[in-house]
Amino acid sequence: EAGVTQFPSHSVIEKGQTVTLRCDPISGHDNLYWYRRVMGKEIKFLLHFVKESKQDESGMPNNRFLAERTGGTYSTLKVQPAELEDSGVYFCASSQENRVWGYTFGSGTRLTVV
Amino acid sequence: AQTVTQSQPEMSVQEAETVTLSCTYDTSENNYYLFWYKQPPSRQMILVIRQEAYKQQNATENRFSVNFQKAAKSFSLKISDSQLGDTAMYFCALRGSTLGRLYFGRGTQLTVWP
């Protein structure tokens, strides 16, 4: 079974630019989560999709962040316009419906805003 | 509110020795789940071990075991016979019984040296 795939693995952009991160979950996984880790801090929840619907987006920091999950398959997280404090590693994870245990995580996208 | 605290930013241990990583948490829920994740330099987050709060028996996975003290809200990870491949960032995480999101600590960077 293929794992959770994230693109790109690294991105360096200038402040004010737009960046789109993509996550391909494991096929059949209805639940998709986005998390972010700012250097030296804890990993923080951003939002949770169940299929194409946003179940919980309470962790989204502000309206510069927009997440979508078209057709309940892959998801994108767009940051527009990017600010310096958006730098960090963005993780995606997916899990099957009703599975309490564990997610499978992707390897993350390291975003650097300069 | 749910919080996870890892008070050891860095730890080191010699190969074949035993090391214990600390984690404390706070939650108002009666049923919850606790996890230790490992993030090696490849950045792939890997589940190490998990514990259901209603189970009194401490979880064990090969060389990894936990000391779960529910009253003290403590969930430490013991790694026996440490190996060079155990070098990684270790995150303690908490999940409630309702929402699917995880709450993470700041992580402990473990270095195993020869």
Partners of B101 on chain A (C-beta within 8 Å) are 33, 45, 48, 56, 59
- Please give the backbone phi and psi of residue A10, each rounded to the nearest 5 degrees, phi first: -135, 145
Indicate the pLDDT class of residue B38, thresholds 50, 70 and 90. Answer: very high
Q: Does A73 touch chain B (CB under 8 A)?
A: no
B50 and A101: CB-CB below 8 Å?
yes
Query: Could you read off the pLDDT of B21-34 as tens digits, one per residue?
Result: 999 999 988 889 99
B104 and A40: CB-CB below 8 Å?
no
| Count of beta carbons in the 10 Å neighbourhood of residue B22 | 17
Q: Which residue has the higher pLDDT, A70 or B37?
A: B37
Q: Is the pLDDT of residue A67 over 90?
A: yes
Q: Given this model, what pLDDT does residue A34 score? A: 97
**Residue-wise DSSP of chain B:** --EEE---SEEEEETT--EEE--EEE-S-SSEEEEEEEE-TT---EEEEEEETT--SPPEETTEEEEEETTTTEEEEEE-S--GGG-EEEEEEEEESSS--EEE---EEEEEE-
Query: Could you read off the pLDDT of A68-113 as tens digits, one per residue?
Result: 998 889 999 999 999 999 999 999 999 886 666 668 999 999 999 9
Q: Given this model, what pLDDT does residue A99 score? A: 62
* CB-nearest partner of A102 from B47, B105, B106: B47
Query: Could you read off the pLDDT of B55-93 as tens digits, one per residue?
Result: 889 999 999 999 999 999 999 999 999 999 999 999 999
Q: Is the pLDDT of residue B42 over 90?
A: no
Q: Is the pLDDT of residue A18 over 90?
A: yes
Rg (CA), chain B: 14
B-proximal residues of A, 39-58, CB under 8 Å: 40-45, 48, 55-56
A35 and B100: CB-CB below 8 Å?
no
Q: Which residue has the higher pLDDT, A56 or B1?
A: A56
